[in-house]
Amino acid sequence: MRPLLSLLLLAITLSACSDSNIQTSPDVEEWAELFNGENLDGWDFKINGYQLNENYANTFRVEDGLMKVRYDEYDNFTNQFGHIFYEEPFSYYRLQVEYRFVGEQTEGGPGWAFRNNGIMFHSQPAQTMNLNQDFPTSIEFQLLGGDGENDRPNGSVCTPGTHVVVDGELRTEHCISSNGPTYHGDQWITAELVAYGDSLIQHKFNGELVMEYTKPQLETGDPLTGGYFALQAESHPTDIRSVRVLNLAGCMDENATNFKSYYVKDTPDECTYN
């Protein structure tokens, strides 16, 4: 074999081995992108007053590779609060959403909904919402944009049909303010939710921790160990360019081929071996 060809084949072999090692390393985080940039496959939407997946006035759409919440086809906003749900539930995970607020709030939207969106999580399934139910029973990581001048409690937690524990105290008010930064204008922001079942919950912006609490639960006191997550449509146009999740539940046996060092919840039934 000619030396040049031999060296080329060796380089290809080494590169393949290197790629294989990277893919199978237990320390490499395997994030899954949930929005494909082309359509809304894998997502369900529920708008107050409309049947499941009835996309009133084209509220949820994909344009220019972005998931968009829009109201240009509305005559007037009259409590058509909407939510777009990912189709699979999660319990232990990190969720990152890249979003921005754009344009003007649609006519008829409530004052509190100005530059207001949210990540609803540990939620009931979209399929179980009532026809005229405005918000799912869930926990909300609230996203509030600035008006150019004033600070707002960005990253607060709101609790439709639920409660949480903050600093060891059960809190039953609807919203609990955070110390998150206010972002003015139409800039892209990364919100990250860290959820450890019914124990620790954290809210972050651009990697900065702004709020944490524990023991998410229904108003009945039953623990919320997981559920679905959804993004809101509350009358202000919003763009979303990425929704990705890192599952933190899996095989924690170091002898298994699918062991990951970053898992925090062991699921032995999922372990695989050579």
Summarised one tens digit per residue, pLDDT across range 213-248 is: 999 999 999 999 999 999 999 999 999 999 999 999
Q: Which long-range contacts (CB under 8 A, 24 or more apart) does 19-25 make?
A: 24/257
Bridge partners of 208?
205
Band (pLDDT 50/70/90 cuts) for residue 16 is very low
Compute the distance between CA of residue 102 and CA of residue 118 in angstroms, rounded to an integer.
15
Report yes or no on 48 lying in a domain: yes
| Angle CA 182–186–192, to nearest 5 | 55
C-alpha closest to that of 230 among 217, 243, 239, 218:
243
Place of tokens 């919003």: 238
Strand, coil or helix: 18: helix
Residue 164 and residue 81 in contact, taking contact as beta carbons nearer than 8 Å: no
C-alpha closest to that of 260 among 250, 270, 269:
250
- φ/ψ of 23, rounded to 5, equals -65, -30
Band (pLDDT 50/70/90 cuts) for residue 10 is very low
Compute the distance between CA of residue 29 and CA of residue 199 in angstroms, rounded to an integer.
22
Band (pLDDT 50/70/90 cuts) for residue 172 is very high
Report yes or no on 98 lying in a domain: yes
Q: Which helix (H) or strand (E) holds 6?
A: helix 3-24
Instruction: Return the CATH number at 114.
Output: 2.60.120.560
C-alpha closest to that of 52 among 61, 41, 43:
43
Place of tokens 């990581």: 141
Report yes or no on 96 lying in a domain: yes
Residue 229 and residue 223 in contact, taking contact as beta carbons nearer than 8 Å: no
- Quote the domain boundaries for residue 254: 29-270
Compute the distance between CA of residue 114 and CA of residue 117 in angstroms, rounded to an integer.
9
Classify strands 238-247 and 189-196 as parallel, antiparallel or unpaired: unpaired
Report yes or no on 178 lying in a domain: yes
Report yes or no on 123 lying in a domain: yes
Can you give the pLDDT at residue 76?
Answer: 95
Q: How many domains are contained in the chain?
A: 1
Band (pLDDT 50/70/90 cuts) for residue 19 is very low
- φ/ψ of 38, rounded to 5, equals -120, -35
Report yes or no on 21 lying in a domain: no
Report yes or no on 20 lying in a domain: no
Report yes or no on 150 lying in a domain: yes
